Amino acid sequence: MTEEEENKRMADYFKKHEAELKKFGALHGFEESKKFLLDHPHLCSDFAASFLTIECLNLAIDDNEKEAGNMAEQCIIVQYLLEMARSLNALATNSNVINTFFKKIGMADPSYMKMFHDEVASFKDRIMKRAIQKKQEYLAEAEAKEREERIAQSPGGVDPQEVYDALPDEMREAFDSREVSRLQEVAERMDREVFAYHLDRCIKSGLWLPNANTGAEEEGEDNDNGTEA
């Protein structure tokens, strides 16, 4: 079977059993889990473990830590059951295997249960770390998309947010005030080349409309004329 065919089988399984898998993932305790798996033995599969892992990650990404922790334990239950079935060379969906597993875990000594709970804690920790990474990736993708949109809408293909953030403090304050007179005052005080550089970037990014606000640019020209005179 090709990887594509296997992925399709898994997707079909997810779609067909999604409701049952989510219900199992929300259960608490071995007794409830045992009863549910005996009623739905088809959930004793690697596909089910994969679904629970994905759902656990989604819960963690949405900051539902308590639900994610419970889902993590349910996922480990399925994984432990599958491991035992493989060791017995038996089908995990067999009711005798399911009963044997829960009988074993119900009578397990403290060291076995410690191993089980340590595995749950380790799995949950990996899920939470992955959730943080995914959220950072989503944020970076969203920021990149927003930047592309800002650049696409700017007259000169320059990101207005980057231009604004790079402005000298006094120039940014003048922009924030929306007062042309304050920008003209900054133009008089600031080094002409520095001011011209930032103003040009403001125009290219769309932060400043030269046709509507020519005062600041003309101020620089007037200063030059006055100096020559």
SS3 190: coil
Q: At what angle do helices 3-25 and 65-87 cross, to 10 degrees?
A: 120
**Total-model pTM:** 0.71
Instruction: Outline where DSSP puts E strands in the chain.
Output: none
- pLDDT tens digits for range 116-151: 999 999 999 999 999 999 999 999 999 999 999 999
Catalogue all structural domains in the chain, each as residue range(s) with its CATH number: 12-143 (1.20.58.610), 160-205 (no CATH)
Residue 229: per-residue pLDDT: 31
- pLDDT tens digits for range 44-74: 999 999 999 999 999 999 999 999 999 999 9
Mean pLDDT of the 21-47 span = 96
Residue 144 burial (10 A CB sphere; 0-12, 13-18, 19+): exposed
